[in-house]
Amino acid sequence: MQMSWTHQPFSRRRALTTATGLAAGAVLPLTEAPRAAAAPAREPAGAAAGEYTNPVIWQDFADIDVIRVGDTYYASASTMHYSPGAPVLRSYDLVHWEIAGHSVPVLDFGAKYDLNGARGYVRGIWASSLAYRPSNRTFYWLGQIDFARTYVYTATAAEGPWNRLTTISTPYYDAGLLVDSDDTMYVAYGNTTISVAQLSPDGRTQVRTQQVFTTPSSVGTLEGSRFYKINGQYYIFLTRPANGQYILKSSSGPFGPYTMRQVLLDLRGPIPGGGVPHQGGLVQTQNGAWYYLAFIDAYPGGRVPALAPVSWTSDGWPVVQLVNGAWGTSYPSPAVPAPPRQVTPMTGVDTFDGTALEPRWEWNHNPDNTKWSVGNGLTLSTATVTNDLYWARNTLTHRIQGPTSTATIELDHSAMRDGDRAGLALLRDSSAWIGVKREGGATRVVTVGGLTMDSNWNTTGTGYELASAAVSGSRIWLRASADIRPGAARPGTFSYSTDGTTFTRLGPDFSMGNDWRFFMGYRFALFNHATRALGGSVRVTRFELSTP
């Protein structure tokens, strides 16, 4: 988690060299899972046979923690004010990923996460940790909320159900959880001053905590701890926001003393216009190879994961393998067993015909669960009377697929009431939407811009119409296209259709902001809110996320 980038001195620069050599180390202790029948892995677009391309996921998944359990890889990421929080991603090859579930089912940390008298924008789930404990075959998620306390959730399967195990009074900022080879659990945490805590055997309380390292002033800030034990050595992997990665090593146990080495600084990343890969995790494959899964600042789309192989020096320090002095746009694919099945794509069609939302969806703050349902489409009843989308509950969001993608929804608006607003938004601290306005019994499709927040995430603009057209009938198709390539302000466009085939542009391009301070990237968002009185509803019968 980076909350202070503008205050960091970026004057320290060192050249990076490419090291060679085999990955070192014995396989970390893991519980082996039985293998199912194998299926061939898909290659990402643009990759040569036997290679993968970066980013491995062109969606917004930041502050990554990554682990392997048997033949399966799992990763966790920050979600701030979105609910459910802390998605758990799953992969069989470190390249193709799916969303399995969420470690934090609801943000029950105060009324602001319910949009009840206060708002939780850019709070909530920051950099946190995912670990697996072989002794009880249990996944652990650990993270601090609002600098107040630390929460621990557990599950016996990545997809859940996840349940809160405990709260700990010490807020472990940017925590990394280590399950040691003797089953003791430790947490590395902190900003600039790095500490290590030991947990009780049941993981519910803190036994002790101790400062183990103070970052030299020449480096600046270090945070984003990831904690490892490799070949008997203890390592704390740390980020220098937002352009560096460092690692601490101790040969004397988890409480140090630690020595520091730079892993990367100002390294060119694989996304044109994007930032330096940083703040992720190390993971070892079944055959002993090591990889670093980092994220790249790539606004307006957010922070997206990239993968690079890692080798180790003879004295036990990790070295990122470079291509022409940079983090590679492609590398040989990890040598892993054939996957038991194809992972679920992060794009495609959703008709909301199950009994629950797919894990690709996250609400803007906690929803009012009495005001929505799935089955034969997604029904959104108005849950808030407001003229401000940022205050409206039950806005359902989906990450945008990069570098460009389009979301199309089919909307049944026959049950809207006067004053209702429903549609499809490009949602961030500067937003725009296309949707339906019901006024005086008449229905119009409109494009609205000028929804804005200030740097304290207070609303500064509730929007104004840019274009409109009269529509009849009960159904309309709404479309938003987004270009999230970083490096410049990028356009979002809106269009509509009355037959699902022929689409008409409505309104000018929307310029999507690329400032980092909101942290989360733009999302597609489905919404329905009242401006006069509750009681109306809409039904989204189809959502499709497609790429060119």
Give the model confidence (pLDDT) of 178-188 as tens digits.
999 999 999 99
Q: What is the predicted pLDDT for the residue at 49?
A: 66
* Helical spans, DSSP H, in 84-136: none
Maximum separation of any 2 CA atoms in the chain, in Å: 76
Q: In what order do the strands lie in the sheet with 185-189?
A: 176-179, 185-189, 193-199, 206-214
Reference 244, options 263, 261, 226; nearest CA is 263
Contact between 310 and 282 under an 8 Å Cβ cutoff? The reply is: yes
Start-to-end C-alpha separation, the chain: 32
- CB atoms near residue 259 (< 10 Å): 12
Which tokens hold the place of 485?
Answer: 């390539």
Which tokens hold the place of 60?
Answer: 């917004």
Q: What is the mean pLDDT of the chain?
A: 92
Contact between 185 and 199 under an 8 Å Cβ cutoff? The reply is: yes
Q: What is the predicted pLDDT for the residue at 488?
A: 86
Model confidence at 489, in pLDDT bands (50, 70, 90)?
Answer: confident
Give the model confidence (pLDDT) of 281-314 as tens digits.
999 999 999 999 999 999 999 999 999 999 999 9
Contact between 69 and 132 under an 8 Å Cβ cutoff? The reply is: yes
Give the model confidence (pLDDT) of 147-206 as tens digits.
999 999 999 999 999 999 999 999 999 999 999 999 999 999 999 999 999 999 999 999
Contacts of 500 (CB under 8 A, 6+ apart): 410, 477
Q: What is the predicted pLDDT for the residue at 27?
A: 32
Residue 337, SS3? coil
Rounded Cα gap, residues 360 and 61, in angstroms: 12
51-53 and 176-179: which strand pairing?
A: unpaired
Model confidence at 26, in pLDDT bands (50, 70, 90)?
Answer: very low
Asked if residue 340 has a cis previous peptide bond (ω within 30° of 0), the answer is no
Residue type, 59: Q
- pTM score over 0.85: yes
Reference 87, options 58, 115, 113, 125; nearest CA is 125
**Residue whose entry in the numeric block shows the structure tokens 């980013």:** 55
Output phi, psi for 225, to 5 deg.
-60, 135
Q: What is the predicted pLDDT for the residue at 447?
A: 98
Give mean pLDDT, residues 436-460: 97
Number of H helices, E strands in the chain: 0, 39
Contact between 362 and 79 under an 8 Å Cβ cutoff? The reply is: yes
Rounded Cα gap, residues 210 and 443, in angstroms: 63
Give mean pLDDT, residues 481-490: 94
Rounded Cα gap, residues 350 and 134, in angstroms: 35
Give mean pLDDT, residues 261-283: 98
Give the model confidence (pLDDT) of 56-92 as tens digits.
999 999 999 999 999 999 999 999 999 999 999 999 9
Q: What is the predicted pLDDT for the residue at 47?
A: 57
The helix (H) or strand (E) run that includes residue 542 is strand 537-546
Give the model confidence (pLDDT) of 313-350 as tens digits.
999 999 999 999 999 999 999 999 999 999 999 999 99
- CB atoms near residue 429 (< 10 Å): 22
β-bridge partners, 480: 407, 494
Contact between 71 and 93 under an 8 Å Cβ cutoff? The reply is: no
Distances (CA, A) of 372 to 40, 108, 272: 38, 19, 40
Rounded Cα gap, residues 450 and 501, in angstroms: 29
The domain ranges of the chain are: 19-332, 348-546
Give mean pLDDT, residues 42-52: 65
Reference 174, options 233, 113, 215; nearest CA is 215
Output phi, psi for 391, to 5 deg.
-100, -5
Q: What is the predicted pLDDT for the residue at 59?
A: 98
CATH number of 19-332: 2.115.10.20
Rounded Cα gap, residues 151 and 132, in angstroms: 16
Q: What is the predicted pLDDT for the residue at 48?
A: 67
Class of domain 348-546: mainly beta
Q: What is the predicted pLDDT for the residue at 450?
A: 98
65 φψ region: left (φ > 0), alpha (ψ -120 to 50), beta (else)? beta
- CB atoms near residue 517 (< 10 Å): 14
Output phi, psi for 285, to 5 deg.
-80, 175
Question: Percentage of the chain with pLDDT > 70?
Answer: 91
Which tokens hold the place of 494?
Answer: 């809106």
Q: Write the DSSP symbol of residue 56.
A: S
- CB atoms near residue 410 (< 10 Å): 18
